[in-house]
Structure 1
Amino acid sequence: MKVTEHISKAKKSLFSFEILPPIRGNDIKDIFSTLDPLMEFNPPFIDVTYHREEFVYIDKGNGLLQRKKISKRPGTVGICSAIMNKYKVDAVPHLICGGFNKQMTENALIDLNFLGIDNVLVLRGDPIKHENKFFAKKDGHKYAVDLVKQVKNLNSGIYIDKNFIDNNNTNKKESPIFDFCIGVAGYPEKHLEAPNIESDLFFLKKKVEAGANYIVTQMFFDNKKYFSFVEKCRIEGISVPIIPGIKPISSIQHLNSLPSKFYLSIPNELVKEIEKTKNKKNVFHIGIEWSINQSKELRNSGVEVIHYYTMDKPENIYQIVQSIF
């Protein structure tokens, strides 16, 4: 079922979760151990992230290093299939520009369609580690809006090589038409590369006009930022559902690492409460309480779905959702 269908049929706020593929070589049981306790809350869908290739350097001796490309967290498509099979819920794979050309993207979407996956979250993706800006693969997409357009084209039966489809369609039927529900990312405090929020909203609207059906936001810690973002989107004519993304702070290091990595602000009240505690374990519980209060306010405001970034650590997410379920 599509994410938008889940939303339209819901009689109260839903809860969804995002997980990471396990580190290369680890077991699918790691995924199940993350999700098992959270399935108590009947999430309608689970997001599975996709991670770009990375490069490692192998010492070849004599002072020589060999640069080798690896996938550190592989298996997004397989994990989605396993989740759907085990839990009978919808899986939402992330689809990124980085590392894919258009043909590879089309092939990936064909595979997802074969598996009965109805949803994709379309993202540009991050630069490769140690690169200071994003570079698209040759014949790939530089921007998420172009990736949205490719998915939308497949939804209309438009393939990259139209002649190939026609020449191999012996029954002379129309090209297979997909029906993906397309999600995109939104940034209540703007994307870190955007010059301002107005510019960010301009390009977000372009993604919706290109075919995006819903928006999931970057994490935020001040609900006013989310409510203001939604209001600005509506003023701009963006009418699709806007799902708030929540991640609890779980360590004092997050006070510096999250703002620098994701371009977000942490309310001074929360910062002071964390900084004054002398017990590191207390930070975990402070983060839970803050997210509980955020979630209650969001739910009471009538949001359709609250989306939680688990980072494969379900303990705090479980406590948050249990408190408001």
Structure 2
Amino acid sequence: MKITDKINTLESDQSYYSFEFFPPKTDEGLANLYNRLKRMSLLEPLFASFTWGAGGSTIDKTLEMCTTSQGLYGFETCMHLTCTNVVREIVENALKEAKNAGIQNILALRGDPPRGHEYWTSCDDEFTLAIDLVKYIRKKYGEWFCIGVAGYPEGYPDSTDKEQDLKFLKEKVDAGANFIITQFFYDVDSFIEWEKKCREIGITVPIIPGIMPIQGYNSFRRITNLCKVKVPGEILNALETFKHDDQAVKEYGVSLTVSMISKLLEHKIRGFHICTLNLEKSVRLILEKLKFVQTEEERAMRRLNRRRSSAGFIPNDIIRQEPDGSVPAAKPIIWKEQNADYIGRPEDWDNFPNGRWGDARSPAFGELDGYGVSLRIPSDLALKYWGEPKTINDIIRVFKSYINCEISALPWSEEPLLKETDIIRPNLLKINELGYLTISSQPAVNGAKSSAPDFGWGPKGGFVYQKAFVEFFVSPEMFEKLTKSIDDNVWVTYYAAKRNEEFETNIKEETPSAVTWGVFPGKEIIQPTIIEEVSFNAWKKEAFALWSEWEYLYPKGSPSQTLLKNIGDNWWLINLVYHNYVDTDGIWNIFYKI
């Protein structure tokens, strides 16, 4: 069914909401996302949209998720579709398969522009903007598809003319778009003013605001910087006071979202598109607090009442009697699954969604944005930071400049190093000089207070621990020396991989390794950061793809392009963990001995 037809069946003042998901990075994550989708279908969203990776990189998973969600779980689905940097055949096949599967809703997007024309396979001269895709779908399929397009309440990120942006949006609607889903925002007043301007220029189709609950401080800052979304000062100030407490951040994110939607409802905005980031708990809590859905307790009571009316009695196993034999008001016992897997339980996946360092079985494992592999900074800024390296020493200088905070980004990290890196900065500089190009690391920590400004996280009154680890690229020659030197070191484990799928490890029996954990009053030990083979291999593909993204900044055959391609094709990526967290220097001595 078309999304607009579903909206038209609602009462004029009836609110509605929809969800957005992205294809997980691992097979385990996808399987568990389906379990999550089954549960979230009970929340009865108007529809669910599924994102499309850059260049059509997730086409198979996106189509599978749309068809499975619609066929098995009853979601009305909307498939994202981009045309930039996608060959025409992919677009045509995706639309054909969507129609064959009964998917009637398409979110037509331009997609990210290519890094350079020499590396870009054009979809077709007919496709350069989202409006071209809208026109093509209308020409090819008539009115069969319901087409959505993107709106930008704060202006398109690369545009300086907001009035022109509105005109472009009107042109997309006039070309055949049926509804608009906006970029997420945190300034409600800005959206309300923008929506008013849209109506004033004659845009009459439904405008559904994008809402992204804050799930974690680092991911929030990363995604708002990436999308150039303005964050009101009062939100930043509030987060600053508890940014290291993941649970407090998530609770604030729920409260903020409830407040934002409540204000939008006051201004007669009745639809909301929630960017779930493949997470579940916050979304459910938001809908409960808004009274859009019943709470778990209310649902349990409803099930209990059905049992009473059908059976004529309340089973003794769920009703408590007072000492005098009287029966109080019924209070249902809500059982939760206790799947005690090797590290963490599935219900804990949402509590600490720490990107690629989380549990690879989680539907949200990865970078928590679903944008796919790309440099997170503009090309001109990347060239300013990284210059035109022609030798390995030039590359080493780039990495050292990042460690010294002289530049604020590498292809693998678009933000400056965390404060905790200060304690290991001299060692990172030394091993980079030796040819180990580091992209991730953390120092050993033995019982720092959870309130400590450099290492602390989690609730107050706790203690946190860390094993030292370092992740880096290294040449084949140095890789051989390194692995030989640590063969007999019982404290060291590593995963190593090359772009060509070569893989090595000294771990004889695969088990995940917790490298960060915390002990807090009244709680089980929390282990938010783990390293395991499946997550390393998922990250490996992205890490080497980012070498290519850096390479694509330069003309083919140039010294810089040739150098970067050679490194990407031949060097090893290694993740090395030193398990003696009491020995703060042990990990670095491994490199110095060589």
Match of 2:283 in 1: 317
Q: Distance in 2 between matches of 1:182 and 1:269?
A: 36
In structure 2, the residue corresponding to 1:122 is in which secondary structure? strand
Partner residue in 1 for 2:66: 80
Are positions 1:113 and 2:99 aligned together? Answer: yes
Say yes or no: does 1:215 pair with 2:217.
no
Q: Which amino acid aligns with 2:137?
A: V
**Distance apart, 1:246 and its partner CA:** 0.3
Residue-by-residue CA offset, 1:75-115 (whole Å, 9 max, x unaligned): 11111110011112211000111343334322321211111
1:53-95 Cα shifts (integer Å, max 9, x gaps): 49xxxxxxxxxxxxxxxx3684111111100111122110001
- The Cα of 1:188 is off from its aligned counterpart by 0.5
Residue 250 (structure 2) pairs with residue 250 (structure 1): no
Alpha-carbon separation, structure 1, partners of 2:58 and 2:65: 15
- Residues 182 and 207, structure 2, Cα contact 8 Å, conserved in 1: yes
User: Given residue 20 of structure 1, which amino acid in structure 2 is its aligned partner?
Assistant: F
Q: Which amino acid aligns with 1:275?
A: E
Give per-residue Cα distances to partners, 1:275-307, cap 9 Å, x unaligned. 022634211111110001111222343324211
* Contact 1:121–1:182 (CA under 8 A) maintained in structure 2: yes
Pair 1:132–1:275, CA change in 2 (3 A) = farther
Taking the aligned partners of 1:126 and 1:287, their CA distance within structure 2 comes to 28
List 4+ stretches of structure 1 deviating above 6 A: none
Partner of 2:18: 16
The structure-2 alpha-carbon separation of the partners of 1:136 and 1:287, relative to structure 1 and needing over 3 Å to count, comes to farther
Equivalent residue in structure 2 for 1:269, among 234, 247, 258: 234
Distance 1:313 1:254, change over 3 A: same
CA distance in 2: counterparts of 1:185 and 1:289, whole angstroms: 26
- For the Cα contact (< 8 Å) 1:13–1:302, is it kept in 2? no
Identity of aligned residues (%): 32
Amino acid of the residue matched to residue 10 of structure 2? A
- Please say if 1:308 is aligned against 2:236: no
* Contact 1:255-1:266 at 8 Å conserved across structures: no
Partner-residue secondary structure (3-state), 1:317: helix
Aligned to 1:192: 157
Query: Is residue 219–residue 247 contact of structure 1 (8 Å, CA) maintained in 2?
Result: yes
- Which residue of structure 2 aligns with residue 174 of structure 1? none
Counterpart position of 2:4: 4
Bigger-Rg structure (1/2): 2
Question: For the residues of structure 2 that align with 1:2 and 1:291, how far apart are their CA atoms?
Answer: 27
Counterpart for residue 282 of structure 1: 248
Q: TM-score, normalised by structure 1?
A: 0.81
* 1:45 aligns to 2:76 (yes or no): no
Contact 1:190–1:197 (CA under 8 A) maintained in structure 2: yes
Higher relative contact order (CA 8 A, sep 6+): 1
Structure 2 residue runs of 5 or longer lacking an equivalent are 293-594
Match of 2:36 in 1: 34
- Does the CA contact (< 8 Å) of 1:97 and 1:136 recur in 2? no
Q: Kindly indicate whether residue 86 of structure 2 is the aligned counterpart of residue 100 of structure 1.
A: yes
Aligned match of 1:122 in 108, 112, 115?
108
Q: Is the 8 A contact 2:107 2:149 kept in 1?
A: yes
Structure 2 length-normalised TM: 0.46
Q: 1:219-274 deviations in whole A, cap 9, x for unaligned?
A: 01121121111111111211111001100112222453233211211111111111
* 1:124, distance to aligned residue in structure 2 (A): 0.8
Aligned equivalent of 2:344: none
User: Take 2:75 and 2:162, find their aligned partners in 1: how far apart are those partners?
Assistant: 35
Q: 1:183/1:135 Cα in 2 relative to 1: closer, same or farther (>3 Å)?
A: farther
Between Structure 1 and Structure 2, how many residues are aligned? 286
Choose 293-302 or 87-96, whichever is displaced more.
293-302
Q: In structure 2, how many angstroms separate the alpha carbons of the residues matched to 1:300 and 1:42?
A: 23
| Alignment CA distance shift 1:207-1:28 (3 Å) | same
CA contact (8 A) 1:127 1:135 kept: no
Q: Which moved more, 1:6-15 or 1:180-189?
A: 6-15
CA distance in 1, matches of 2:219, 2:154: 17
Return 5+ residue gaps in structure 1 as ranges: 55-70, 157-177
Partner secondary structure for residue 36 of structure 1: helix
Q: Tell me, what secondary structure is at the counterpart of 1:17?
A: strand
Q: Is the 8 A contact 1:24 1:74 kept in 2?
A: no
Contact in 1 for aligned 2:153/2:182 (Cα 8 Å):
yes
One-letter identity of the residue aligned with 1:38: M
Identify which of 121, 124, 148 aligns with 1:139: 124
Instruction: Note the C-alpha offset of 1:21.
Output: 1.0
2:169 is the counterpart of 1:204: yes
- Please point out which of 133, 136, 140 is paired with 1:154: 140
Cα distance in 1 for partners of 2:271, 2:28 equals 31
Query: For 1:26 and 1:127, how far apart are their aligned partners in 2?
Result: 31
Question: Conserved in 2, the CA contact under 8 Å of 1:220 and 1:245?
Answer: yes
The residue identity in structure 1 corresponding to 2:150 is A
Tell me whether 1:237 sits opposite 2:216 in the alignment: no
| Aligned residue type for 2:213 | P
Find the aligned partners of 2:18 and 2:254 in 1 and give their Cα distance.
17
Preserved CA contact (<8 Å) 2:23 2:58: no
Is the contact between residue 83 and residue 91 of structure 1 (CA under 8 Å) also seen in structure 2? Answer: yes
Contact 1:219 1:245 in 2 (8 A): yes
Aligned equivalents of 1:74, 1:81: Cα separation in 2 = 11
Specify the alignment match of 1:179 in structure 2: 144
Preserved contact between residue 120 and residue 183 of structure 1 (Cα < 8 Å): yes
Structure 2: how far apart are the matches of 1:188 and 1:136? 31
What displacement does 1:321 show? 1.2
Which has the larger displacement, 183-192 or 91-100?
91-100
CA contact (8 A) 2:211 2:275 kept: yes
